[in-house]
């Protein structure tokens, strides 16, 4: 299958299932440089940073002063903090992929995702089931995030889980808790989650997933920090709502 045919199949999969894995999306030489930059950025710990203790997700340290309390969860503003991260978010093949999906020119949010995600052994927390759109404000609920695995990702080191086709489902508000996580304690929700799957990612693989796709991530039971680079995109005609957090920073045009 040639590249154009493969991309067409992948686009169909994203539309139908709400997520798709694109193997070897990042070349090996670029992947080496991304990993070098990721480790340097984590060592430098330059602001803005989000710590596990800040969010209090299951398994996180109870406070910044507790054991493991300085464990980093996300290095924010990847676009602004490291040129190679910015270049990856504007890569020609990524722009072409997103333009094919949206059918128009594309913008990247600097507010949502735009981060280097880390998952640490012992103190890296569990992320419960949710839809990313829960805190986003756009004219249309049609955004796609691109998650690039800088190393191998699987169940043992806190890999992602997705519920296929969940982006098409409609749920009443009571099926989510006060923090807008999908309530796994409900029998009707548990039935939805039975079809969840966790794709195994090789270094350089990318996952494209819709903002309404239910997903979660486990804890890291390995001995090594897991790194992922994550950005979110939308078509130019889909504007963030004025006055919302989604509109609080100028977006980046993929040109």
What's the CA gap between 164 and 13, in Å, rounded?
Answer: 10
Q: Over 80: is that where the pLDDT of 203 sits?
A: yes
Confidence grade of residue 7 (pLDDT, cut at 50, 70, 90)? confident
d(CA 126, CA 55): 11
* Domains of the chain listed by start with CATH number: 3-253 (2.60.120.620)
5 pLDDT above the threshold of 90 = no
The radius of gyration of the chain from alpha carbons, rounded to an integer in Å, stands at 18
**Beta strands in 131-238, from DSSP E residues, in sequence order:** 144-149, 160-162, 206-210, 215-217, 226-235
Q: Residue 230 — very low, low, confident or very high, per pLDDT cuts 50/70/90?
A: very high
Q: To which residue do tokens 């997700």 refer?
A: 57
Mean pLDDT of the region 60-67? 94
Instruction: Report the share of the chain in percent with pLDDT over 70.
Output: 98
Distance CA 184, CA 128 (A): 9
135 neighbors 113 (Cβ within 8 angstroms):
no
Confidence tier at 82 by pLDDT (50, 70, 90): very high
CB atoms within 10 A of CB 129: 21
* Residue 225 pLDDT > 90: yes
pLDDT per residue over 130-170, tens digit each?
999 998 999 999 999 999 999 999 999 999 999 999 999 99
| Confidence band for 255, pLDDT divided at 50, 70 and 90 | confident
48 preceded by a cis bond (ω within 30 of 0): yes
Mean pLDDT of the chain: 96
């Amino acid at each position: 299958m040639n590249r154009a045919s493969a991309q067409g199949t992948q686009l169909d999969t994203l539309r139908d299932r709400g997520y798709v894995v694109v193997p070897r999306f990042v070349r090996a030489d670029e992947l080496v440089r991304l990993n070098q930059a990721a480790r340097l950025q984590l060592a430098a710990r330059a602001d803005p940073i989000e710590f596990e203790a800040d969010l209090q997700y299951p398994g996180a340290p109870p406070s910044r002063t507790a054991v493991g309390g300085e464990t980093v969860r996300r290095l924010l503003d990847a676009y602004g903090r490291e040129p190679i991260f910015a270049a990856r978010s504007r890569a020609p093949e990524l722009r072409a992929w997103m333009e094919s999906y949206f059918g128009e020119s594309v913008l990247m949010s600097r507010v949502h995702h735009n981060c280097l995600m880390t998952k640490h052994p012992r103190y890296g927390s569990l992320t419960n089931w949710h839809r990313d759109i829960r805190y986003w404000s756009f004219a249309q609920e049609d955004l796609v995030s691109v998650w690039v695995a800088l190393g191998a990702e699987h169940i043992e080191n806190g890999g992602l889980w997705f519920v296929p086709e969940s982006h098409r489902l409609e749920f009443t508000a009571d099926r989510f808790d006060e923090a807008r996580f999908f309530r796994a304690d409900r029998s009707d929700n548990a039935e939805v989650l039975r079809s969840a799957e966790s794709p195994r990612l090789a270094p350089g693989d990318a996952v494209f997933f819709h903002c309404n796709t239910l997903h979660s991530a486990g804890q890291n039971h390995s001995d090594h920090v897991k790194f992922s680079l994550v950005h979110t995109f939308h078509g130019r005609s889909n504007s963030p709502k004025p006055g919302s957090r989604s509109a609080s920073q100028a977006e980046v045009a993929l040109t």
